[in-house]
Structures are given as C-alpha cells and as structure tokens.
Amino acid sequence: MNRTPRTLFDKLWDGHVVRPESEHHPAVVYIDLHLVHEVTSPQAFDELRRRGLKLRRPDLTVATMDHSIPTLFDAGEPRYADEQTRLQVDALKRNCEAYGVRLYEMGEPGQGIVHVIGPELGLTHPGKTIVCGDSHTSTHGAFGAWAFGIGTTEVGHVMATQCLLQRKPKTLEVRIDKTLGLGVSAKDLILAIIRQIGVDGGTGHVIEYTGECIASLSMDERMTVCNMSIEAGARAGLIAPDETTFNYLENRDHAPKGDAWERAVSEWRTLRTDDGASYDESVSIDASRIEPMVTYGTNPGMAIGISESIPMSGGSERQALQYMEMSEGDAMVGKAVDVVFIGSCTNARLDDLRQAASVLKGRKVADGVRVLVVPGSQEVKRLALAEGLDRVFLDAGAEWREPGCSMCIGMNGDAVASGQLAVSTSNRNFEGRQGKGSRTVLASPLTAAACAVSGKISDVRSLM
C-alpha cells in the first residue's frame, strides 16, 4: 500500500478523530486521559451538576492536588495559606468522590504536580491524547503523546463527552543538532529555543523536537523541554518515543504488562515521522553552541547565555527591564540574588534534584539567600530521600519541602517578596508570577544551585 508519508502529529491526530472537521465545525477528537487539579476544575464540576450530566469516563480521569496546597505541615496538618485555598482543596475532594474520580491526595503515594505524576504512574503513554486544565500539559508530549492545556469550559466538555472540538494545528519541527556541553542542561536548551523562535513562534503549531541532541536526553530532560513549549506559544510539544521512553515506562503502575506491553511497544515504535513527511515549518539549533541560560526580562524569550550582556531593547521590553531593575548592556553574572527556588513541573524531577545536589554537596548556601527545594511528587521525594539528597540540601542550608507547585505560581503562600530577585527553575518570569512585585530569573537546576552558593548570578561551570 502506498500511503502518504505522515508526521508523528498526523498519526496522533488521525488516531483520535471521532468525526472529521468540516467547514462548519472542528473535528471531534477523543481524549484518552484527562488530568484534573483543584484550581481549574470546580467550575467544570458545577457545570456537570447544573446540567445534570454524568462524568462520562471516570476511568480515564485522574485527579491530584498541587497548585494551592501547602508545602509545610504542622504535626501532620497542612498549613494552608488561607481559608480559600483549603476550601478549594476540599471542593476537589468532594467532587472526585461524587463523580468517582481517582484522586491522589496530599501526602498519599502518587500525589504530586500533575505533570510529574502522570508519567511517573505510567498513565502517560506514547500515542495518547492527554489534556488538563493547565498549560504545562505539553510536558507529556515528551512521550510522543498529543498533550495540551485547556480552559475550564473544555475541562467540562471532556468530563461530559471525553471529547473536544479541535481544528488541526500546524506542525513546527525544531531540530537540535549535536549535543549539550558540560554544565548545560535541557532547561538551557529550551530557553535557547524560545529565545530563537520567540514567545509566539509556536502559536497555532504543535512542535516536534527532533535531532541528535533530543535523542540523547533522558525522559526527565525531555519533559523539561516539552514542558516549556507553551512558553513559545505552542500548546503541544512532541518527541517521538524510543528505547529511552520504553525503558522509562516499563513496569510502572499503569503501564501495560506482559503480552500487552509487547503489543504496546510494537505499536509505539510506529509513532515517528515518516521519511518524506513534511512539517509546515522547520528550524534548527546547534546544541553545542548553547551556554547555561538565564532570563533578564519578564517573558521566557528574554533570555541570554550566562556570558552575554543584556541586549538593546525597545517598546515593551524596555518596560520589562524597568520592572526587573536591569539595564541594557548589564551582565547578569554578579547580580545579587535573594531567593533560589528549585521545583515546579519544569524542573522538580529526580534528575533535576540530583543536578542541584551535585553543586550543593559539601557547599553552603550564601548568607542572606533563601533556598527552597520542592520535589515534584511524593515519588520524587521518596527517591530523593533514598539517595540522601534531602540531607545534601539541608546540610547546605536549603529548605526541603513537601511536593507541590509551590513558589512557581505562589498560590499556596510560598512567595517571593516584592522587589526580591529570585533565581527559579520554574517556567515563567512574568511580572509578579512568584508573588506581587517579585522579580524572576529563570535558570536550570545547576545554575540555580550555583547562584545559591555564591549569592549572585553565577556560571555553574566555574564550580565544576
């Protein structure tokens, strides 16, 4: 049979169309996994209630709590930031119970940041469509799943019908040639990509990351890359599954077992872009030329290599520099740091904590710097404890917290004070993102740890 060559995305799309799109309506697309958390779900559950609808597939729906939950406990009791956050978490519990949704509760094995636990539990598979009321759902694309963030109305659509209305997006190939140098990590790679294509470079597109560098990355690293696709405007980022993917998933709780595993893997091997298939657009980047990256402005595209100085800017960028209290021509290296945050769905997996610990081991956090380390999940925490990483952080003078989104979004009381400069392994340096008036510099776990030790923005390579 002579089939038209297809991209990986074409295959994911074709496999999920319940009704094809027409001039009059978008395609009805089937959703294989719906992830739910406390912030973007209560209004959707209320809509089901209002209309008297059932939740169609509780078996394809999994909930956890991550955004509003505290990372500190008093004698086992969560220390909520305020009454409203407690009410929101309670609403999730009640809703999951009422609609039969499996909920991973605070402190329970399996709980954690929604984009950390999906893969960890083996729920995220190649070839699936995965949605969540959270823009960083793009993370799961690292497994060759079509995964994207949706709003609360669409959360309700999926609850009621297990489907969404979608127009087929365009495809953008981002090919990464060669490999990353010493001290340069997946976070630096994605910041370099966003800098190159721009914060709206991926709008209307699904990105597929390809090339030698991507193939060499671990799953934790691939998730970091796909996680920030949305910061380039792309709702989804994809990486074709390979042996690294299969090795990660094998034997996980919800991964297929026995013969089903063999069948799944042989199916998953077909999930790659065919020779001769074409993307709507393609760009390429040479990984060997990327340095450790830091942001200097108020969007993730305003990023430079650690040895560069802040470029000339105009218009809105000037306002961003003013907010950040930075000037054109300044070096980032040497700027005093108040807070270091190591966590978030971008960089709170075991690889990330290991990297940060490798820098902090045998060293001390600089005087006056507050360092918060927040594992992405109970499972990451368990593995980190088993390796003694918590001791490394605590001995260095960092705080070691319970899993959650924490200071990435600052909804739970873990916030950066107004005017303070935070070096953060999270994904957004928007004005006030980490607390009203907070100033954020995005960086890798290696760079964040180096900044913690020196109390200044630093090139981690000088400590290696």
Positions touching another protein (CB under 8 A) are 18-19, 23-26, 28, 30, 39-40, 42-43, 46, 51, 53, 67-68, 82, 84-85, 87-88, 91, 133-135, 137, 149-154, 156-157, 160-165, 167, 169, 199-200, 203-204, 230, 233, 235, 299, 315-316, 319, 409-411, 428, 430-433, 436
Considering beta carbons, is residue 110 or 413 the nearer one to another protein? 413
Considering beta carbons, is residue 204 or 311 the nearer one to another protein? 204
Considering beta carbons, is residue 163 or 398 the nearer one to another protein? 163
Phi–psi pair at 11, nearest 5 degrees: -65, -40
CB 334 within 8 A of CB 367: no
Instruction: Spell out the residues 6+ positions from residue 131 whose beta carbon is closer than 8 angstroms to its own.
Output: 31, 33, 34, 35, 137, 147, 148, 149, 150, 154, 155, 158, 164
Q: How far is the CB of 235 from another protein (least distance, A)?
A: 5
Considering beta carbons, is residue 16 or 272 the nearer one to another protein? 16
Q: How far is the CB of 360 from another protein (least distance, A)?
A: 28
Q: How far is the CB of 155 from another protein (least distance, A)?
A: 9
Q: How far is the CB of 322 from another protein (least distance, A)?
A: 12
- From the list 227, 249, 245, the residue with the least C-alpha distance to 236 is 227
Q: How far is the CB of 68 from another protein (least distance, A)?
A: 6
Q: How far is the CB of 432 from another protein (least distance, A)?
A: 5
What does the alpha-carbon distance between residue 144 and residue 154 come to, in Å, rounded to a whole number? 22
Instruction: Spell out the residues 6+ positions from residue 319 whose beta carbon is closer than 8 angstroms to its own.
Output: none
Considering beta carbons, is residue 69 or 369 the nearer one to another protein? 69
Length of the chain measured in residues: 464
For CA atoms 216, 221, 224, 226, give the dihedral sign.
positive
Helix (H, G, I), strand (E, B) or coil at 103: strand
Considering beta carbons, is residue 29 or 396 the nearer one to another protein? 29
What does the alpha-carbon distance between residue 88 and residue 38 come to, in Å, rounded to a whole number? 6
Considering beta carbons, is residue 42 or 110 the nearer one to another protein? 42
Q: How far is the CB of 30 from another protein (least distance, A)?
A: 6
CB 167 within 8 A of CB 33: no
Measured in whole angstroms, the distance separating CA 252 from the mean position of its chain's CA atoms is 20
What does the alpha-carbon distance between residue 230 and residue 134 come to, in Å, rounded to a whole number? 10
